[in-house]
Amino acid sequence: MKRCIPILLLSLVSCQGWFGDDSRLPSGRDDHLKGTPVTPPEETVPQKGRDTTVYVTAVSYPAGIDWVRDSGADGVQLLLFADGEEILSLPVGESHLTSPDPDMHRVCWGHLYTDYSTKSETVVMRDGKEIFRFTGRESLKGFCAMSEDYIVTLGQNRDGDGWTLRKNGEEIASSPNGILLQEADSHSFPSGALQTENEHIWFFYHIPQKSWRGIRPGEYFLWKDGQTYPISLPELADKVFDLRVIDGKTVMCYSGEAFPEVRVDGSTYSPGSYENALSWCRLFPTGDGDFRIAGSSFYSEPDGSTALLWDRDRLLKQYSPGEVIGEYCFERGRMAFVSGPTEGFADKAVVDEKTLVLPEESRFVVRRCALLRYGKLYLALSGENARDSESGLWVDGEFTPYNINGPLTGVWVVH
């Protein structure tokens, strides 16, 4: 089973070697898990004769525990389900080197990979068994399992600035002050801050510029295939929201004369300025060579923040004030999203303009709990005993409850 890779250079980057020829991406057809955001045309639906498995991760609390308010309770288990059946249960806690936090576990090729930061080390495990550890406390913003004995991580220092790239825990490259741009919490970019396509690997980072006027955009860099390239910023760029490679082109979303603006390989687009300042924007590949820009205004508006969606040319959608978009999902031009009345809750899903009502009092705990795959929308929804709601998997309008007291933290579809 295979997946992805990366590294870095520059005066402020230390580099201890390159992976060599064997570092190239092996051939394989599951581009979703490999990290490529574009679904191959021949695999828009699963091929005949190939089984599809739906994996779900969850955190289970003892009966009677309010997991929202008492997340530090004893007797907590990290669970892995395959097609609704529990196949792995790991005790959570410092003595077990396992965390319930969603950003510290993920599924790769049917295995549950976890990381845990002690007071001085980071420990990586597969299915509850340690595979390596290293000195330093890192938050893994990029994770690639090329095989069971070939793991690449891209970690941000938990105790300050700086990142480190590692192969099986061994340092390959690092920066003492670089900051990675993305989180590892969305299926739009399954490898997190890392991106891969064919045999190429890349990621972006920046070095903030601090002055008496505050923190300015600073310097931005692309690392690709062992080389580091500076990214020039537009003259009036005040803040860079997101920076990705989409369909072979470098795409930057930033605030300039308009909110937002987009630069695609040197060409600038102003898709329509929003009258109020934006708190964030993110780029989403649509799976057909294009992209969308999702953003939100600041919460200080009278009726709450406003969610917005653009393409490179125009504003496509301005949602009702206060409606919170949990996640957008795209597959070969199709779009779906999940939304709710407040952060962390979901009450409806919209697939190709069709609105579907979700179970009442459903929580949506992290972006990777939504996945549009092979024409179906999968949502891992979380319920609360105190609200008489259940945790379970919602697939195209059908809800299957999971008999646990706790949140579902992700869904993956593998074939």
pLDDT tens, the chain, 415 aa long: 333 433 333 334 544 444 443 333 322 222 322 333 333 333 444 555 458 899 999 999 998 888 888 777 789 999 999 999 999 999 999 999 999 999 999 999 999 999 999 999 999 999 999 999 999 999 999 998 878 888 989 999 998 889 998 999 999 888 899 999 888 889 999 999 988 776 677 889 999 877 655 556 689 999 888 888 999 888 888 889 999 999 889 999 998 776 788 999 989 998 876 777 788 899 999 999 999 999 998 765 567 788 999 999 999 999 988 899 999 999 998 999 999 998 899 999 999 989 999 999 899 999 999 999 999 999 999 997 666 679 999 999 999 999 999 999 999 999 8
Q: What is the pTM of this model?
A: 0.86
Residue 334 exposed, middle or buried by CB count within 10 Å (0-12, 13-18, 19+)? middle
Domain residue spans in the chain?
Answer: 14-231+323-414
pLDDT attached to residue 214: 54
Helix (H, G, I), strand (E, B) or coil at 22: helix
CB atoms within 10 A of CB 129: 7
State the Cα–Cα distance between residues 143 and 35, nearest whole angstrom.
Answer: 10
* Peptide bond just before 176 cis, omega within 30 deg: no
Closest CA to 143 of 193, 81, 87, 82: 193
Q: What are phi and psi of 280, to 5 degrees?
A: -160, 160
Alpha-carbon dihedral sign for residues 130, 131, 134, 136 = negative
Helix (H, G, I), strand (E, B) or coil at 370: strand
Closest CA to 161 of 245, 225, 223, 218: 218
Q: What end-to-end distance do the CA atoms of the chain give, in Å?
A: 12
State the Cα–Cα distance between residues 233 and 237, nearest whole angstrom.
Answer: 7
Find the helix or strand (DSSP H, E) in which 31 lies: helix 31-34
pLDDT attached to residue 58: 97
Top-tier CATH class for 14-231+323-414: mainly beta
CB atoms within 10 A of CB 384: 19
pLDDT attached to residue 29: 27
